[in-house]
Amino acid sequence: MPLLPYRSYVLISREQIARNYRSVRAAAGRNVGVMGVVKADAYGHGAVEVARILAAEGAAWLAVSSVPEGVALRHAGIQAHILVMTGFLPYEWQNMVTFSLTPAVHSLSDVAELNRMARDSGRTVDYHLKIDSGMHRMGTRASAAEIIGVLRSTTHANLDGLMTHFASAADFTSSQTEEQSAYFARIVEELRQAGITPAHIHLSSTNALAYQRNPAWLTMVRPGHALYGYVSPTRGEAPKPVLDVKPVLTWRAKIMTVKDVPEGALVGYGGSYRAPQAMRVAVIAAGYADGVPHRLSNRGKVIAAGRLTPILGTVCMDLTTIDISHASALGPGDEVTLLGHEGDAHLDAQQIARIAGTISYNILCGIGARVERVFV
């Protein structure tokens, strides 16, 4: 692999993103659409590039978190439908309609408000109604009768989709997913009996799809994590995931300096590491400002010269110190791997997350803006 002129960078495989997308599509089945979730800069991978890859694979829908994220995709020329999953605030209205973004709407009063804004501007606006089926985060808890009542009175807001979100799809010790599915199914059915059949019905993100919790009647799935190569670990007795996805990202950093320290030397802030013997350490150009969790201090590992090696002392803002006693050939300008494969060693976001006491999503989204994204 050629060395790139960046102190810290991630390499992202276009081909692996496309493969992951195809695996999702195969698992979703023939008549089910795949909405690619590219919120939070595509979980740190770069939303514009990822959106282009998904669009080239035929994705008709993308999902972002906010209006500005949707606008950024439109500025880059992305033409797919874009669902704004957290909806919009009144001051975002203009950008939402100008850039043809589709909001998720989370309450019946917001449906009425959307209808009023659309009518006043002389247009019709599509939206997806989010049902809170039991996660108690976003979405309406209104009954089907109440929803039908409001839909009957809307003239300029068009119900294009109905959605909900699972709280515990990877947890097979809990009945929450079945309860949420049943709640949502009841609303979909009551709306259908009232003659309301939105074009899109979607509830499954990565885990529900991977562990086959998606009911037969949905029309679209909504994965993010899987596109980036991950499926969450399960609790309880779970089936094997049906997705064949792999991480797409490799994170590397340059060594800035190397030194030999004597037995008893204290390394880094607070002297929290004491060398048990003479050793060679390297200082690498990535710290917590780049997304190396501070919690990896004296706990985490990186790969140097093809071997896992410990982080020594505290992770600093811009720098991290590691043990390279096994790799005397390494010097300034050489690279180590923070996430990915090198030789026989590998580290993925789930392994790092476990050590840092967090989740893989947090590791991926935490990779800092100054870490160059390089697509290969």
Q: Which residues bind ligand PLP (CB under 6 A)?
A: 37, 39, 85, 165, 205-207, 222-226
Quote the CA–CA distance of 322 and 312 in Å, as a whole number. 5
* Encoded tokens for 29: 């089945």
3-state secondary structure of 11: strand
Nearer to ligand PLP, 209 or 322 (CB): 209
Q: What whole-number distance in Å separates Cα of residue 303 and Cα of residue 18?
A: 27
CB of 20 to ligand PLP, least distance (A): 11
3-class DSSP assignment, residue 17: helix
The catalytically annotated residue of 43, 130, 228, 269 is 269
DSSP state of 250: E
Which residue out of 9, 39, 127, 130 is catalytically annotated?
39
Helix/strand/coil percentages in the chain, nearest 5: 30, 25, 40
HSE of 224 in the Cβ direction (CA atoms, 13 Å)? 22
What are the C-alpha distances in Å from 358 to residues 272, 307, 361, 368?
22, 24, 9, 17
Residues 147 and 112 sit within 8 Å (Cβ to Cβ): no
Q: In the beta sheet, which residues pair with residue 37?
A: 63
Cβ 221 to ligand PLP shortest distance, Å: 9
Between residues 57 and 334, which has the closer beta carbon with respect to ligand PLP? Answer: 57
Query: Residue 137 CB, nearest distance to ligand PLP (Å)?
Result: 9
- Helices 67-75/47-56 angle, 10° precision: 60
- Compare residues 83 and 319 and give the one whose CB is closer to ligand PLP: 83
Q: Based on CB atoms, which residue is closest to ligand PLP, 134 or 287?
A: 134
Catalytic residue flag (residue 269): yes
Q: Is 246 a catalytic residue?
A: no
AA identity, residue 283? V
* Residue 62 vs 336, nearer CB to ligand PLP: 62
Q: How far is the CB of 63 from ligand PLP (least distance, A)?
A: 7
Smallest distance, ligand PLP to C-beta of residue 38, A:
10
Q: Residue 50: what residue type?
A: V
Point out the residues that are catalytic. Answer: 39, 269
